[in-house]
Structure 1
Amino acid sequence: MNKELQNWAEKVIKEITPDAINLNKDYYPFQSKAIENPDILFLGLNPGGGSSYESQSTKDKWEFIDYFDEKGKSIKVMKPERLLGGNPFFEINSDEWKFIKGLRKISMFDKALNENKFVLANYFYLSTADFYEAETFHKDVFEKCKKLTYEMIQLIKPKLIVVLGTSKGIDQLDEFKNKRLILSGNHQRLLISADYNNTKVIAIPHPSLMAITEKEIEAINTNILELIEEKPFTNYEFKKINFSQFSINNIEKIIEEKGIKADFVQNKNVYDWIIDNGTNKILVRFSVKDKYFGIRDFNAKTSGSPNRFYINIENADLYISTITKPLFFKTNSWMVQKFFSQYEFDNLSALYQLIATDLTNLYHKIINAS
């Protein structure tokens, strides 16, 4: 093991463990194993599992050992070798992780993942519910982690740094200079460039929510390669859509014009439609606030394995195939999750038509499967 990296790991453990214990949050800088000179350092914001330090320190895979702190108090700390080895569950489960699937949509990233020439790390090490909690309620720890992350980058010397998140992710990294918006999409910044000590830096939308169109993905792919090869950028223009006027009633109307009664029932901030073919009850739920619709088993139990939301649905793969790509499927609590921004459209009327067509096709597949 590189002695400098070993010293850095020991420094992280010494500085961050007291905060992790005090806040009772698990922590880890690396998802993957730390290696030197990777083709790409993927830099996420923070672990999002939301587990506790107490729980983490008792799991054998995390390799905690007994240690006496400066006050002589016995505590459990992570071994430096484990910290540099990354999340022990990464190699086991990462192919199924949503953000890994998102990264693979970009050809250069897919290549680095396949060849194991990458490091995947976080720049805030404690597991929080979201990034807002990290930057708002734990500012002192936040600054500590950033400083340690800059040190880590200088030690592993990546050829390219990819920040996962264009909304706030890269904005918080003040040591990354010369930030420049390269590509703007329908609903968000798609590609930002910067540099850090002569290392190229880019930021993309967080891959766990790569809820963008195929054309936007193609544009990101193209502009990244042009940036790396120092070629002129291909110009892409995407029309911005205002979702504030989105109405579920318009989708209901179009579906009903196709001879189907779409009984959407409002439940607080969501709208539910149940399609029943006598064998399965399928829930179609719209979250207008979060701009997506999801499809799953209406009768799924309130707790258990994540696949309970689709495992008992006959013809699940057939139903998934009726929704136009791109989409997320068999992920989180959904058999299908489709964000509005994944459709290609120029106005809300066109979006209504696209969604209504998908749901009409889904309805016919479900009913005809009975």
Structure 2
Amino acid sequence: MEDLELMKQELAKWADSTANLYHDLAQKKPDFDKAFYSQSNLNDLEQRPELLILAINPGSGGSYTDQVTNSLWTGWGLDGKMDGTALLKGNPTWDTRDTWPFWQRLKSILRRGEIESIIQDKSKFVLSNLTLFSSVQAKDLPKLPSECIQKTIELINILQPKKILCLGISDCIEPLKKEGKFTTEMLLPNNLLSFGKYQHIPIYSIKHPASRYNNEEMNLVGKCLKYLFDNPNNTDVRVQIEKIFSGEIEAVKNRKVTESVDKEIRIEVKEKIHERLEKEGFINYEVKNLERYSISDDIMVSVTQTGVGYVGIRHKNFSLKYTEKEYPYQEKFMDFLQKESGFINNTNDVWLGVKHFSQYGYSADQIISNIIEDIKRIKTGFEKIMRE
């Protein structure tokens, strides 16, 4: 009981300082004039949570200027500015969460592993966000000051949950890792699931539930989370996962991609991705073909709208099929692409690996963001292979 009271006192202090930080940013910097709030009601906690779920950020949009005069929020307790009392109460639409598409998908994933009950008792879990600033899409957020992410880390330190689940690989776990100074390991293909520890707390990250999932992927992620939740202290986790769920992993790898992204979206990806890739340092190296970009001195990536739309990786000096000529690090590159990023490498032997647009998401912006994160991960992975 004393432990609970102490936690609630610390939460009240955290809420006051967090509300002040976000208020000052929203008032002083026009780019941060965005509504901000948390999600679940932290006053509902009756113990340290079994699970802390961290999404990227609230997705409703709107400005802070409008939020503080909006009847929904003034009825929630705002009086001219956000304060700690209102922030602790979370989202005034929290009770409608079962209608939220990403929450429905998350429940479906957990149901596959028979662990949906963990989010049915509101006193045992918390839903919050990496950042409390709201935007319809994560890409609409300005570059976040480290203080915002540090406030989320402070929340973790106060709550001391038994486990943490991040919704989103590139936009959630990666920034948290940087500020929290911990590492993770990818456990499943297609960037479906990673695992690490923040201090002593197991922390898992899955592909965001708003992203495109197929039945095989939801089945695999749900079952793996069940195993990981039940065995938080196991070592060699990846080896265990690959052994226990070999059948489910093969089902994901072998599933034929039959879904095609609409032509209009494929065209939009082609038109927008050039600027985004060059901003990340991936320069077009073939003047006659604007779809090809340099990953390294030896490796290129092609992002094309052709067919269903795909990303292809191969050697720049490619001249004969991979079955007819041995290229440097060929087998290791192919193995990395398949295991770490879910690429297919049996496509007529002209690519080290291919991945279709439909595996990256539904919208053009989502597909572009996920492609870029994939390419960055591949670049780092290939560089490590070549150093070994």
1:32 maps to 2:40:
yes
SS in 1 for 2:183: strand
The counterpart of 1:177, out of the listed 157, 179, 182, is: 182
CA distance in 1, matches of 2:261, 2:67: 44
CA distance in 2, matches of 1:48, 1:240: 34
The counterpart of 1:138, out of the listed 143, 148, 161, is: 143
1:102 maps to 2:112:
no
Where do 5+ consecutive residues of structure 2 fail to align? 235-239, 269-304, 310-356, 361-388
1:7-46 counterparts in 2 under 5 A?
Answer: 7-21=13-27, 22-23=29-30, 24-28=33-37, 30-34=38-42, 35=45, 36-46=47-57
Residue in structure 2 matched with residue 228 of structure 1 by the alignment: 229
1:114 maps to 2:120:
yes
The counterpart of 1:57, out of the listed 68, 92, 112, is: 68
1:123 maps to 2:126:
no
Matched residue type, 2:39: Q
The counterpart of 1:4, out of the listed 3, 10, 23, is: 10
Deviation string, structure 1 residues 310-337 (Cα, Å, up to 9, x no partner): xxxxxxxxxxxxxxxxxxxxxxxxxxxx
Alignment RMSD (CA, Å): 3.3
CA distance in 2, matches of 1:127, 1:98: 17
CA distance in 2, matches of 1:78, 1:4: 18
Residue in structure 2 matched with residue 214 of structure 1 by the alignment: 215
Normalising by structure 1, what TM-score?
Answer: 0.58
How much does 1:176 deviate? Answer: 5.6
Which protein has the bigger helix share?
A: 2
Distance 1:151 1:95, change over 3 A: same
Distance 1:33 1:266, change over 3 A: closer
Does the CA-based 8 Å contact 2:17-2:84 persist in structure 1? Answer: no
Matched residue type, 1:180: E
CA distance in 2, matches of 1:204, 1:216: 11
Residue in structure 1 matched with residue 199 of structure 2 by the alignment: 197
Matched residue type, 2:77: E
Deviation string, structure 1 residues 163-218 (Cα, Å, up to 9, x no partner): 0012332111122623011111xxx3111001112011000111123x22212111
Deviation string, structure 1 residues 24-61 (Cα, Å, up to 9, x no partner): 21001x21112351111110111122111122101323
Does the CA-based 8 Å contact 1:191-1:203 persist in structure 2? Answer: yes
CA distance in 2, matches of 1:6, 1:267: 45
How much does 1:109 deviate? Answer: 5.3
Does the CA-based 8 Å contact 1:56-1:62 persist in structure 2? Answer: no
SS in 1 for 2:169: coil
CA distance in 2, matches of 1:205, 1:268: 21
Does the CA-based 8 Å contact 2:184-2:196 persist in structure 1? Answer: yes
CA distance in 2, matches of 1:215, 1:239: 9
SS in 1 for 2:193: strand
SS in 1 for 2:88: helix
Does the CA-based 8 Å contact 2:56-2:171 persist in structure 1? Answer: no
Does the CA-based 8 Å contact 2:130-2:172 persist in structure 1? Answer: no
CA distance in 2, matches of 1:7, 1:37: 17
CA distance in 2, matches of 1:247, 1:268: 7
Does the CA-based 8 Å contact 1:161-1:200 persist in structure 2? Answer: yes
Number of residue-to-residue matches in the alignment:
242
Where do 5+ consecutive residues of structure 1 fail to align? 66-75, 249-264, 271-287, 293-338, 343-370
Distance 1:8 1:266, change over 3 A: closer
Normalising by structure 2, what TM-score?
Answer: 0.56
1:181-330 counterparts in 2 under 5 A?
Answer: 181-184=186-189, 188-209=190-211, 211-230=212-231, 232-233=240-241, 234=244, 235=246, 236-237=249-250, 238-239=252-253, 269=267
The counterpart of 1:83, out of the listed 81, 87, 94, is: 87
